[in-house]
Structure 1
Amino acid sequence: MKIFRSLGVTLIAGALLTGCTNYVGAADSKLISVKDLTQEKLLTVQDRTLPAVKLTTKDSLQAEMNTLRSRLVISQGLSSHKQVAFTFDDGPDTHFTNQVLDILKKEKVSATFFVCGNNVEAHPDVVKRIDQEGHSVGNHSWNHPDLSKKDQATVNQQISKTNDAIQDAIGKKPTLFRPPYGARKGGIVDGEAQKLNMKVILWSVDTLDWNHKSKDQIMEAYHREFKPGGIVLQHSAGNEGLKETVKALPEMIRDLKSKGYEFVTVDKLIGVPAYQ
């Protein structure tokens, strides 16, 4: 049987797919007898549309990431990635924030700190330490009000003033904003964040550590709610109950390391820049 090189893989694939050696053609086309082939028919066969190629795993993941980063409000990374983002709210202070930073440094773990502007103003050196040790700094309002009960001007001021304080401390303006209590009813909070080119970051795991939970209760919440791509909500300033957060954190890290998780900042988890 004479074989035409110009057909290449198309003819071979067509013959193999049909299980036929006396006819050639694309898998979904009308077959042509080998003995009847002409140059015109060869070109016709080559130009026929082959079945659509399925996306590779890499392409699928990229498409998922593109969809994720396009969202304004995000509470979870990709469930297909063994990644985790630890987040710490309400700081900085000179007590619990430094203890958390010491643990993260020892364990070589990156995290995201959603800071309040008034605390940034009071403790700029701690914010600088957060940044210098490779963590991301996000905005958590100026003084932690329920923004869903505030008017548009107040919401804008709470976010903008905190951005300015962070920029004064580390020379960078954040892209990540977490509303206090996660409160954003009515659309004003989301709208002002969008105007300021910021993402609204919520969470998928709430340890409730602010509410005087024991280490065991914190770990129970973590085990119950965590899944791949998780954003874990904890605190690094507030009441003395956070001593239990400091106790639970190393245990949480060891558990995730044993399961092969990568620790990333929220910006890396969702594929956006940390700063504007």
Structure 2
Amino acid sequence: MKQFFMILVVLTLTILVGCNSTQNMDSTDQNQKENRQQETEKKENPEDQKQENNQAAETNEDEQKTTNRKKETLYRMNDNWLLKPLKEETNDQVVLLTIDDAPKEYAIEMAETLKVLDAPAIFFVNGHFLETEKQKNVLKKIHEMGFAIGNHTYNHTRLTEVDSKTQKQEIVKLNDVIKQITGETPKFFRAPHGANTDHVKKLVADKGMLLMNWTYGYDYFKPYMDAEKLTEAMITGKGPEAGVDYSLLQPGANLLMHDREWTAEALDDIVKGLRDKGYEIADPHTIQLPE
């Protein structure tokens, strides 16, 4: 009798465990079915998926902006357009990379090269290269990649040859366009040909932008419209065929480049060559701005 009772208990427990397992399996199957249904609904509703992707992109963009805002201010720019450390312990063996006339044709390629190299830069843009949706999307992507965006006037006008009203329009109009595309007003300004006026200097300061020229650049001289020659000139600071037979490379140097085919081709070697010489690539977001 006792043995019969034990067998009955074992059978009861076995049935209970089996029922519980079946319920768990049914629950798992139901969850998997619901997940598959949700995935199917996403595929059948591309607008929902698009909205989800856009929200993710906006989150990444906001995170990038927050990261840039949190960066410590390490350098100031002196009257010779060189970066100087604000603190003695800050590395002074740095160079600043800047790219003008973007996004004309090769800007996104250059940005992707720099991103792979983890090399920051300022892209100084012109308004007449931002008049199509494709061009605007290129600038938006460069900004979302974390690069600083600078104002290089709307029409690449030589500001010393136009009246003060036009000078203001060239700067303010482009600021508005950049903000519309990126959500941020540019913090850096470079005049075409480096030609500034007193009116421009005051306007730029009033707008909270840092006025900037450069210490050297060679890609706009015909002899250096060649990737190999340009690479040598940029990493040595010498441009004999442009009348510079001595090196302009020094700590804090502000390097000028352009959105050009030969510069895009040379960019990877230029960055690596400068680093091989012991120079760090300065982050524009760590440069002191006007108060």
Structure-2-length-normalised TM-score: 0.62
Instruction: Say if 2:114 is the partner of 1:104.
Output: yes
| Separation of aligned partners in 2, 1:267 and 1:133 | 13
Name the counterpart of 1:129.
141
1:119 to 129, 138, 150: 129
Name the counterpart of 2:180.
168
| Separation of aligned partners in 1, 2:191 and 2:122 | 14
* Percent of aligned positions that are identical: 29
Partner secondary structure for residue 78 of structure 1:
strand
Partner secondary structure for residue 217 of structure 1:
helix
Instruction: Say if 2:102 is the partner of 1:91.
Output: yes
Q: Any residues of structure 2 matched to 1:11-160 within 5 Å, and which?
A: 65=75, 68=76, 75-78=81-84, 81-93=92-104, 95-122=105-132, 123-160=135-172
Partner secondary structure for residue 245 of structure 1:
helix
- AA partner of residue 139 (structure 1): N
Instruction: Say if 2:288 is the partner of 1:227.
Output: no
Instruction: Say if 2:284 is the partner of 1:266.
Output: yes
| Separation of aligned partners in 2, 1:195 and 1:150 | 20
What's the CA shift for 1:216? 3.4
Q: Any residues of structure 2 matched to 1:177-216 within 5 Å, and which?
A: 177-184=189-196, 186-209=197-220, 211=222, 213-216=225-228
| Separation of aligned partners in 2, 1:262 and 1:107 | 12
Contact 2:102 2:123 survives alignment (8 Å): yes
Partner secondary structure for residue 206 of structure 1:
coil
What's the CA shift for 1:187? 1.8
| Separation of aligned partners in 2, 1:91 and 1:142 | 11
Name the counterpart of 1:26.
none
What's the CA shift for 1:248? 1.7
Let me know the Cα RMSD of the aligned residues. 2.5
Name the counterpart of 1:58.
none
Write the deviation string for residues 61-99 of structure 1: whole angstroms up to 9, x where unpaired: xxx95xx45x6x662112861112111111113x31122
| Separation of aligned partners in 2, 1:165 and 1:110 | 23
Q: Which runs of 5+ in 2 are unaligned?
A: 1-73, 86-90, 239-247
Write the deviation string for residues 158-178 of structure 1: whole angstroms up to 9, x where unpaired: 000000000000100012100
What's the CA shift for 1:140? 0.4
Q: Which has the higher helix share?
A: 2
| Separation of aligned partners in 1, 2:103 and 2:265 | 18
Structure-1-length-normalised TM-score: 0.66
The alignment covers a number of residue pairs equal to 200
1:253 to 253, 267, 271: 271
- AA partner of residue 144 (structure 1): H
Q: Which runs of 4+ in 1 moved over 6 A?
A: none
- AA partner of residue 182 (structure 2): I
What's the CA shift for 1:219? 2.8
- AA partner of residue 121 (structure 1): E
| Separation of aligned partners in 2, 1:92 and 1:243 | 12
Contact 2:120 2:147 survives alignment (8 Å): yes
| Separation of aligned partners in 2, 1:170 and 1:192 | 22
Structure having the higher Rg: 2
Partner secondary structure for residue 95 of structure 2:
strand
| Separation of aligned partners in 2, 1:145 and 1:246 | 24
Q: Which runs of 5+ in 1 are unaligned?
A: 1-63, 237-241
